[in-house]
Structure 1
Amino acid sequence: MKPQLQVGLIGYGFAGKTFHAPIITSIPGLNLQKVVQRSSESAKERYPWVEVVKSADELYADSDIDLIIITTPSTDHVDFVRNALNAGKHVVVEKPFTVTKSEADELIQLAKQKNKVLSVFHNRRWDGDFLTIQEILQNNLLGRIRECAFHWDRFHPTASRKNWRDQAGKGAGVFYDLGVHLLDQAVQLFGKPNKIAADIQIQREGANAHDYFAVTLGYDDKLKVTLKSSPFVRSESPRYILHGEKGSFIKYGLDPQEKALISGQSPASTPQWGVEPEGQWGELNTSLGKIHLKGKIETLPGAYQNYYQNIYDHIMENIELEVKPEEASYNIHLIERALQSHKEGRTLLVDN
């Protein structure tokens, strides 16, 4: 039996209940021991062995807890992460890491001082379509990429009065919530951009936080990457569009893992986890030498569990950390520059 890391989870809302707890409990070696829930003990319905506590302080004071997972709204992240690190715990925090880059860098420095692991849950690096695009680019199936677009469109024409993401305040809004995933994916695929231009709006009547964004990242080799999200897209649009000197790749549909997790499934108990139905496979149109290839290619299986497996392996065996806090901090830097670009109505250098 693998040595166990004892895990404490702060927050059992949508993120904690849907994403973190089912994945944590699917990893041999991670033992979900305590959950912070202030107003109920619903975590025990699915995980009867856990101890539900009312305060995060009870996790900080527990010498048995090795790793604390923070799934609170992003406006709360800094204090929880700081307190967990000061208590001598390893920390995983939901995205977005923080509201500002200065806050992120403060926490990174503290983690180094305490010699503790700090990582951000950028699980969308393990979406099947993203893994497939990585493989396409690594094998140069499209040639030099000239233009691409990542869309996270949805049809939510009415703003929620209960969801914190729709409320006024720093760190709320769709750009922090969904945009940070697309920024992270773009940087992972193409590296750091040198220019950014952004249009970030509140479009829905009665909304208090931005619900639309169109952001363009510019690169030295003239590559342009457009990231976009709108709440008024009722007809499905492509999720990923990549155009290169040899061909194109177009992909519709969302990775199936989120839907599976919402339905109560987990990677540990679901055969063919993360496997996408053939109807959602992307279409590749390219050339290999003199051969023209056109047709659907099978999406690689998604694997959110690999994020937490890497956390365990990094803590226990010093395997390289997949999602480094410095990478998450850079994503927040891009958000800040995008917001400034929108405010000033012009294209900005990412680093000035």
Structure 2
Amino acid sequence: MINVALVGFGFAGQTFHAPLISATPGLTLHTVVTSQADRLAAAWPKARAVPDLETALADPAVNLVVLATPDPLHADQAEAALRAGKAVVVDKPFALTLADARRVVDLAKARGLLLSVFQNRRWDADFLSLRAEIASGRLGRVVTFESRFDRYRPVVRDRWREAAGAGVWFDLGPHLVDQALVLFGRPLGVTLDLAVQRDGGLSPDWAHAVLRYEATRVVLNAAMMIAAPDVRFAVHGTRASLLSSGLDPQEDQLKAGLPVGGPGWGVDPSPMIRVEGDSGHRVPVEGPAGDYPAYYSGIAAALRGEGDNPVPPEQALAVMEVIEAGVESARLHREVAL
């Protein structure tokens, strides 16, 4: 059995990591670093609450450390866990800078320890369907790929994700970028525009990026003032287009406390539509259900030596390269080449 120490019991820790870890055969939610011992005991009574990371790292029974803490802490906490001999999963973003991310990756390689980033949206139902459609050739060669992560949250909340120095490019950008890189690989250049659109906003709440490839253009958008988030993916190929709206249901299922992997888990309530280029016919696309549990199943298999790291550190560095290039692009108001 692989004992897991979850560091952080805020939204990400409570909603995503604790339920998914607990539902994964071979993993045990052993320790949680939190000041909310009562809340932890009510939700996961077998897990031990400890007050700080150092206590968790000093426990020889802990094999894997999962960091669900504020972004600025990720790199230093990952480094501390690796130096303590623990495998590490980091919630996105991996770090605040590419240099910090490389430092952590180099340490993991030197110590021969697993290091992974929680890119759960690779297992969204719509993204799994999209990958299958592109691989099938039914769309032809993809020329334009649009991916949007829009929400309507007009009131600025008092949380670190919306504090100065944070914002949607660091919060949602890693999901959008990771999915794009999975499909198309490293772009030639990145152009990013950022804005603060909400009254009282302290960090960018609107981000619009264009990733330039030889012929393909990838458009990524994340915003907090969209009352009609009707477009999730719009993929246009030489033979057909693919359209989807709405978000994968797994986050809402986790918020509702539904059993992970139970009946109806990950089933997309609004399947994608393929629009045939020659005829204009609209064809519903029945794809696979979403599968967030696959990430931690992959981690468990990798730690047992029975499978590959589901999100290896090299892929996490590739995401950080684009994120950082985007920040530079927004500062300079021009494309940044990679």
* TM-score, normalising length: structure 1: 0.93
Superposed counterparts of 1:221-240, under 5 Å: 222-240=215-233
Helix, strand or coil: the match of 1:284? strand
- Tell me, in whole angstroms, the C-alpha distance in 1 between the residues paired with 2:213 and 2:193: 18
- Tell me, in whole angstroms, the C-alpha distance in 1 between the residues paired with 2:37 and 2:196: 34
Q: Which amino acid counterpart does residue 90 of structure 2 have in structure 1?
A: V
Partner residue in 2 for 1:167: 163
Measured after TM superposition, the shift of residue 166 of structure 1 is: 0.8
Do the aligned partners of 2:125 and 2:248 also contact (CA within 8 Å) in 1? yes
Helix, strand or coil: the match of 1:18? helix
Partner residue in 2 for 1:294: 282
How many residues are aligned here? 338
Do the aligned partners of 1:7 and 1:31 also contact (CA within 8 Å) in 2? yes
Superposed counterparts of 1:1-352, under 5 Å: 4-160=1-157, 162-169=158-165, 172-220=166-214, 222-268=215-261, 270-277=262-269, 280-286=270-276, 294-350=282-338
RMSD: 1.4
Helix, strand or coil: the match of 1:271? coil
Do the aligned partners of 1:101 and 1:330 also contact (CA within 8 Å) in 2? no
Helix, strand or coil: the match of 1:38? coil
- Tell me, in whole angstroms, the C-alpha distance in 1 between the residues paired with 2:65 and 2:315: 20
- Tell me, in whole angstroms, the C-alpha distance in 2 between the residues paired with 1:236 and 1:316: 41
- Tell me, in whole angstroms, the C-alpha distance in 2 between the residues paired with 1:104 and 1:139: 35
Tell me the percent identity: 36
- Tell me, in whole angstroms, the C-alpha distance in 1 between the residues paired with 2:259 and 2:18: 9
Helix, strand or coil: the match of 2:89? strand
- Tell me, in whole angstroms, the C-alpha distance in 2 between the residues paired with 1:227 and 1:292: 25
Do the aligned partners of 1:23 and 1:266 also contact (CA within 8 Å) in 2? no
Structure 2 runs not aligned, ≥5 long: none
Q: Which amino acid counterpart does residue 271 of structure 1 have in structure 2?
A: P
Do the aligned partners of 2:275 and 2:283 also contact (CA within 8 Å) in 1? yes
- Tell me, in whole angstroms, the C-alpha distance in 2 between the residues paired with 1:39 and 1:236: 35
Q: Which amino acid counterpart does residue 214 of structure 1 have in structure 2?
A: H
Measured after TM superposition, the shift of residue 318 of structure 1 is: 4.0
- Tell me, in whole angstroms, the C-alpha distance in 2 between the residues paired with 1:101 and 1:39: 32
- Tell me, in whole angstroms, the C-alpha distance in 2 between the residues paired with 1:70 and 1:236: 30
Q: Which amino acid counterpart does residue 271 of structure 2 have in structure 1?
A: W
Moved over 6 A (4+): none
Measured after TM superposition, the shift of residue 157 of structure 1 is: 1.5
Structure 1 runs not aligned, ≥5 long: none
* TM-score, normalising length: structure 2: 0.97
